[in-house]
Amino acid sequence: MIDYFHLNLDREHLLEMSSLSLAHLGDGVYEVMVRSWLCLHGKARVRDLHQSTIGYVSAPGQARRFARIEPLLTEEEHDVFRRGRNTAPHSIPKAATRAEYQTATGLECVFGWLYLQGRTERLNELFAVLMEGEEDLLESGEERRRK
C-alpha cells in the first residue's frame, strides 16, 4: 500500500511529471499548510476561515509572498519554479494577472516537487518564511482587505 503522506519519489520519476501535475499537487499541499496555519493560530474567526484561506492561496497572494523565499531557493528549486512559471496557462483567473498566475504556478510546482520527495522539513522552512509577519495581518483583518 502507498503511504500518500510520506512519499519519496526518485528524481527520474519526478522529471517525467508534467509541470501542471506538480502545480496541481503543490496547490493542494500549500492549501493544507495554509489551512493548518490558520487553525493553529486561532486568530481567524471560524466564519472567516474560508475567506482568509482564499487570501493566502489565491494567485495574487501566492505571487506576493513568493518574493520572500525566492532568494532562499536552491538551484534545483529555482529550475522547478521556472519550469512551472513558464508553462503556458490554459486560463487565468479574473482576479490575477498573467504574471501573478505564472508565479503562483511556479511556487506550486516547488511545493509539489518537495512533497513528492518527502521533503517536509524543507516545505516547512519555506512555508515559515512565506508566513512571516502574517500573524499581525490576521489580527487586523488586513489579509481580507489586501485581496
Q: In the chain, what are the domain boundaries?
A: 11-146
* Total residue count of the chain as it appears in this document: 147
Burial class (CB in 10 A: 0-12, 13-18, 19+), 24: middle
**What is the rounded average pLDDT of the residues 108-117?**
97
Report the share of the chain in percent with pLDDT over 70. Answer: 90
The residue with greater pLDDT, 41 or 102, is: 102
Burial class (CB in 10 A: 0-12, 13-18, 19+), 100: buried
Burial of 2 (0-12, 13-18, 19+ CB in 10 A): exposed
Whether 20 shows a pLDDT value over 70: the answer reads yes
Whether CATH 3.30.420.40 fits 11-146: no
Q: What is the mean pLDDT of the chain?
A: 88
| Whole-number pLDDT of residue 133 | 82
Q: What is the pTM of this model?
A: 0.88
pLDDT above 50 for 144 = no
**Per-residue pLDDT at 70:** 96
Supply the pLDDT for residue 65: 95
Mean pLDDT of 102-114: 96
Query: Does pLDDT of 30 surpass 50?
Result: yes
> Active-site residues: which are they?
27
**Residue reference for cell 522552512:** 125
Neighbours of 132 (CB within 10 A): 10
